[in-house]
Amino acid sequence: MEKYQKLLPFSASIGKTGELEIAGHNVRELAEKWGTPLYIYDGITLKEKIDSLYKLGAEEYKGKFDITYASKAYLSLGFARHLASLGVGVDVVSLGEMKIAGMAGFPPERVHLHGNNKSEEELEFALDWGVFSIVVDSLEELAFLEELAARKKKKMQIWLRIAPGVDVDTHPYLQTGHTASKFGIPIPDGQAVRAIEWAKGSEWLNLIGLHTHIGSQISDAKPYQRAVRMLLKIAAEADFVPQQISTGGGWGVLYRPEDKETKERDWVAMVADALHEECAALGYPLPQLVLEPGRWLTAQAGLAVYRVGFQKKSREGIHVVAVDGGMADNPRPAMYQAVYSALVVERPMAKPIQKVNLVGKYCETGDVLIAGVELPEVKRGDLIAMPSAGAYQLSMASNYNMAARPAVLWLEPGSVELLQKREDPSDAGWWVDAQ
């Protein structure tokens, strides 16, 4: 159990029965009550992560500092309510996310709208609601937004998302700052400077900041420094003094006990240092620094719980253990070759004695949750906990094989709140004739 502590929610412990507990709640009992697969979020982890990041920002950066949560990592109404009460801003990329943020109590001034192809409906909603900034991703979007704002006679506050041409060491699908990325306004052919000059001169747009997001699951802070320098360089070229600079999110987390630890202080300190240096060199006042973590805030707060089903030895002698979830609730292993770890809920202290392929129940060869994971002996009906499950699992979950999306709980000491009901096929209308 000890070696899993750095992956598990902060409130994880072993109860009197020897079983896994989160925030003092027995996980086996929760699984019996709410069914499996079950997802659990620990309120304590989320709150402490937010507090610690604000503290790091205050310690490392001399200007103002803020956090916006990248809600694509996981969002539901109840979850958004908790986040809103914890004081962070929110980054949304669709009408759906924007509406949930609003319903949950985020004031529009705490909301940023991202996206490389926002619809007219999304832009109009953001403009009417008065979100803090629309993060413009192309020259064509800039022109469209200017016309929309002029038509509505409403001046719009914007950031520009710049493609910094910075490579990062992560899965290719998680890189976003490189030269071939679909995101952001490119620099080399002059588009970025043109966008800044255009926005500065616009009657209907109020350019206040520059943004970039270089990728996800990153553990080296140096590329962030390169991105900061690039943003300040083009700001200076266009004679623009930004009030805000955002280097996006992307800081990595641990998925297995053996993963190399990532130090978030490095991330904040190195971004801060680059900004201090560049602004001093240019004679610019320090802009507000805005970080946009998704995974770093929510991954460790989340735990997935599955029930073991049938087991077999494959023809190659591999011990295969199947659980009642898989790629429908967690497509990350299949999409990004993401690796996870697992422990037995009823016996978290038990010594691993075997290597197994922990597989899902869906009709797809790639539906392997963890290949070669070390586990103690398990039998049908046992419960498996997968740590670091709080980011990009549920938000990318599907109904493959007509799977129902799992129930999601929010735990605090003394309280269990249902964030998402287990999907009910009859509510979802799957069995209703669409004609």
Q: How far apart are CA 64 and CA 268, in angstroms?
A: 13
Binding site for ligand LLP (CB under 6 A): 70, 72-73, 91, 114, 174, 213, 216-217, 248-250, 292-296, 332, 336, 391-392, 396
- Beta strands in 241-334, from DSSP E residues, in sequence order: 244-246, 288-291, 302-313, 319-323
Within 10 A of 307 (CB to CB), how many other CB atoms are there?
20
Closest separation in Å from C-beta 99 to ligand LLP: 19
Residue pair 285/279 in contact (Cβ under 8 Å)? The answer is yes
**Which has the closest alpha carbon to 192: 242, 126, 133?**
242
Q: Is 375 helix (H, G, I), strand (E, B) or coil?
A: strand
Select 70 or 344, whichever has its Cβ closest to ligand LLP: 70
Nearest distance in Å: CB 96, ligand LLP? 16
The residue ranges of DSSP E strands in 214-273, in sequence order, are 244-246
Residue 70 or 136 with smaller CB distance to ligand LLP: 70
Of 14, 241, 281, 363, which residue is the catalytic one?
363
Q: How far is the CB of 292 from ligand LLP (least distance, A)?
A: 4
Residue spans of beta strands (DSSP E) within 123-218? 133-136, 156-163, 185-186, 205-211
Instruction: Identify any residues that bridge with 370 across adjacent strands, giving them in sequence order.
Output: 358
Active site residue 363: yes
Residue 271 beta carbon to ligand LLP: minimum distance, rounded to whole angstroms: 13
Decide: 351 and 345 in contact? Cβ < 8 Å: no
Please tell me whether the peptide bond between 37 and the residue prior to it is cis, using omega within 30 degrees of 0. yes
Q: Which is nearer to ligand LLP, 216 or 388 (CB)?
A: 216
Shortest distance (Å) from residue 174 CB to ligand LLP? 5
Largest Cα separation within the chain, whole Å, is 70
End-to-end CA distance of the chain: 53
Amino acid at 377: E
Residue 21 phi/psi, 5° resolution? -125, 145
Question: For ligand LLP, which is the closer residue by CB, 61 or 224?
Answer: 224
Q: Which is nearer to ligand LLP, 331 or 348 (CB)?
A: 331
Of 337 and 415, nearer to ligand LLP (C-beta) is: 337
List the catalytic residues: 363
